[in-house]
Amino acid sequence: MGIRTAEGGAEGGMKGAHAPHLPPPLDSKMATVDFDSSADPEMDLTSDEELEREAEGFKEQGNAYYVKKDYNEAFNFYTKAIDLCPKNASYYGNRAATLMMLSRYREALEDSQQAVRLDDTFVKGHMREGKCHLLLGNAMAASRCFQKVQELEPENSQAQQELKSAESILEFERLAEISFEKRDFRMVVFCMDRALQSASGCHRFKVLKAECLALLGRYPEAQSVASDILRMDSTNGDALYVRGLCLYYEDCIDKAVQFFVQALRMAPDHEKARLACRNAKALKAKKEEGNKAFKEGSFGEAYDLYSEALTIDPNNIKTNAKLYCNRATVGSKLNKLEQAIEDCTKAIKLDETYIKAYMRRAQCYMDTEQYEEAVRDYEKVYQTEKTKEHKNLLKNAQLELKKSKRKDYYKVLGVDKNATEDEIKKAYRKRALMHHPDRHSGASAEVQKEEEKKFKEVGEAFTVLSDPKKKSRYDSGHDLEDDDMNMDFDANNIFKAFFGGPGGFSFEANSSSGPGNFFFQFG
């Protein structure tokens, strides 16, 4: 039949036929001949030979289908051969090879083990048993099988290569365990990917990879791996746990709890599922308590409840991002603006797509007059969601940024932006007298220069804020010089005009009042 993975006629010929005939198992489909002392031994021998010939025919048909890659039909004919001759090791070996091609590795393992039980010198049987162990992720058992092959055939290069694969899997398992403890989930995924190259049928490796993908926030990938396992084994508690974990981390807590409960039904001792189920219920309850307190206006209580919720599970990225944003909203209500900004930043670090956190942080930046940062956040929001509202918020932040880079005339006069005309006049009077150069004539040159500068700024501020048209343009963010408005002024002239003196104004020290006290007179 030539060289092929399933044993051909040369290997499978009559192996086991020379062994003493033993009664078949009770569940065997093979026809049996009861022992009878009066029966003709030659007739028994003829019956055995006929069974063996018929079994060989089934095996040859199985080989033909195997070569054609029709593994299901090959499996059926090898099974017929086994039913007739259940003590022939090569038949089990051939069926094991077929089962491996069908990815039915556990059944293939059972057949391989039966083959070597029947014939401990069956090299291909030991190789296939080792390969099945390897594919199922049991590298230690696989190594023992390959070592047995080497005992039987010291120069067997395939066994040497498979031993190296088994050693690699053991090393990747060791690294994955260390990395998981260090919470280096990317390294665990890397190790499992490498191990699965040789152990593609190992559900344990797949589940660990899926769990780490979930912990990394790569939920679709984790869901895909878990779903593949559940298609093959719907009762796999680990895969059910991972499905629940993905839903839990995507803030679908009610659905997640259902999967955790199902996992515990399949595997009552599944500690991870039990802990995740408890955390999910606690997190949902605490978050809802915080929301209720916020709606009732109990901001301090809501802040504390959100803080407690954040301690429940640091791995739940999406839910924690929402909790940080919620706490930031409460913080802004409590005038904890810097803390609110910090909470929004934490939320964004957990979920870079979280628009609500960008919006909340931008507003906090506006409230604290950090306009450049506000513009940056609103730009991010508008790039993501080009709505009219977001456009207006961005334009307003850009306007405030532009205004912030000019002189703040309100700050110069020390008045609020909503100051009345009288308040502006009073502020000018106070500041002009405070910074008038004559008042500081006895000070150092450096102080005189600084006070003169402030005096001019006060005059400039008053010129703008006391003129309704200029004030309106200034408040709307326009550059007054670009608007062809007359911005030429003399601080001394403004001072004289304000105080109404035709002949000027001077400060003189009043020695009786002590140093630093001045009175003014018009000339």
Distance (Å, whole) CA 521 – CA 504: 9
pLDDT tops 60 at residue 164: yes
CA 503 to chain CA centroid, nearest Å: 77
pLDDT tops 70 at residue 38: no
Residue 29: pLDDT band (50, 70, 90) is very low
Let me know if residue 499 belongs to a domain: no
Let me know if residue 214 belongs to a domain: yes
pLDDT tops 70 at residue 238: yes
The SS3 call for residue 217 is coil
- Exposure string (b/e) for 416-455, b if CB count within 10 Å is 16 or more? eeebeeeebbebbeebbbebbbebbeeeeeeeeeebeebb
Q: Angle formed by the axes of helices 421-435 and 445-465, to 10°? A: 160
Residue 15: pLDDT band (50, 70, 90) is very low
pLDDT tops 90 at residue 43: no
Quote the pLDDT of residue 239.
Answer: 94
pLDDT tops 90 at residue 404: no
Could you give the percent of the chain with pLDDT greater than 70? 83
Residue type, 499: F
The verdict on 254 and 309 lying in the same domain is: no
The SS3 call for residue 505 is strand
The SS3 call for residue 119 is coil
Answer with the one of 389, 405, 421 that is the final residue of a domain: 405
The verdict on 97 and 214 lying in the same domain is: no
pLDDT tops 70 at residue 516: no
Q: By CB neighbour count within 10 A (0-12 exposed, 13-18 middle, 19+ buried), where does 110 fall?
A: middle
Cα-based distances in Å from 393 to 320, 362, 472: 27, 9, 21
Mean pLDDT throughout 270-278? 95
Mean pLDDT throughout 291-316? 94
The verdict on 373 and 415 lying in the same domain is: no
Distance (Å, whole) CA 11 – CA 483: 101
pLDDT digits (tens, 9 = 90+) for 241-263: 999 999 999 889 999 999 999 99
The verdict on 309 and 391 lying in the same domain is: yes
Instruction: Report the relative pairing of strands 505-509 and 518-522 from DSSP bridges.
Output: antiparallel
The verdict on 153 and 212 lying in the same domain is: no
Answer with the one of 405, 431, 448 that is the final residue of a domain: 405
Q: By CB neighbour count within 10 A (0-12 exposed, 13-18 middle, 19+ buried), where does 76 fall?
A: middle
Distance (Å, whole) CA 22 – CA 36: 15
Let me know if residue 197 belongs to a domain: no
Contact 240, 207 (CB under 8 A): no
CA 444 to chain CA centroid, nearest Å: 63
CA 235 to chain CA centroid, nearest Å: 26
pLDDT tops 70 at residue 13: no
Mean pLDDT throughout 297-309? 96
Quote the pLDDT of residue 493.
Answer: 66
Contact 215, 244 (CB under 8 A): no
Residue matched to tokens 């365990």: 177
DSSP-derived letter for residue 202 is: -
Let me know if residue 306 belongs to a domain: yes
Distance (Å, whole) CA 404 – CA 477: 9
Rounded mean pLDDT of the chain? 85
- Structure tokens belonging to residue 15: 């192996």
Other CB atoms within 10 A of residue 256 CB: 24
pLDDT tops 70 at residue 302: yes
CA 473 to chain CA centroid, nearest Å: 50
Residue matched to tokens 């195997």: 66
Let me know if residue 5 belongs to a domain: no
**CATH classification of the domain holding 127:** 1.25.40.10
Distance (Å, whole) CA 144 – CA 57: 34
pLDDT digits (tens, 9 = 90+) for 491-513: 666 676 666 654 445 544 443 43
The verdict on 322 and 390 lying in the same domain is: yes
For 244-293, the DSSP string reads: HHHHHHTT-HHHHHHHHHHHHHH-TT-HHHHHHHHHHHHHHHHHHHHHHH
Which residues on neighbouring strands pair with residue 508, listed in sequence order? 519
**Lowest-confidence range among 6-10, 57-61, 486-490?**
6-10
Contact 256, 318 (CB under 8 A): no
Residue 489: pLDDT band (50, 70, 90) is low
The verdict on 378 and 455 lying in the same domain is: no
The verdict on 220 and 335 lying in the same domain is: no
Q: By CB neighbour count within 10 A (0-12 exposed, 13-18 middle, 19+ buried), where does 151 fall?
A: exposed
Of the two residues 521 and 233, the one the predictor is more confident about is 233
Mean pLDDT throughout 64-87? 95
Distance (Å, whole) CA 44 – CA 516: 135
Q: Does the predicted TM-score (pTM) go above 0.75? A: no
Quote the pLDDT of residue 333.
Answer: 95
Answer with the one of 349, 372, 405 that is the final residue of a domain: 405
Distance (Å, whole) CA 330 – CA 63: 74
Angle 148-169-144 from CA coordinates, rounded to 5°:
15
The verdict on 92 and 58 lying in the same domain is: yes
pLDDT tops 90 at residue 133: yes
Mean pLDDT throughout 216-224? 92
Report the number of distinct structural domains present in the chain. 4
Let me know if residue 105 belongs to a domain: yes
Quote the pLDDT of residue 309.
Answer: 96
- 205: closest CA among 190, 216, 215, 217? 190
The verdict on 71 and 156 lying in the same domain is: yes
The SS3 call for residue 522 is strand
Distance (Å, whole) CA 348 – CA 369: 21
Range of the domain at 70: 51-172
Distance (Å, whole) CA 45 – CA 40: 9
The verdict on 319 and 401 lying in the same domain is: yes
The SS3 call for residue 520 is strand
Angle 266-270-271 from CA coordinates, rounded to 5°:
155
The verdict on 119 and 58 lying in the same domain is: yes
Which residues on neighbouring strands pair with residue 507, listed in sequence order? 520
Let me know if residue 131 belongs to a domain: yes
**CATH classification of the domain holding 467:** 1.10.287.110
Could you give the percent of the chain with pLDDT greater than 90? 64
SS3 content of the chain, % helix, strand, coil (to 5): 70, 0, 30
Angle 34-37-42 from CA coordinates, rounded to 5°:
80
Let me know if residue 242 belongs to a domain: yes
pLDDT tops 90 at residue 7: no
pLDDT tops 80 at residue 379: yes
pLDDT digits (tens, 9 = 90+) for 325-366: 999 999 999 999 999 999 999 999 999 999 999 999 999 999
Distance (Å, whole) CA 324 – CA 339: 10
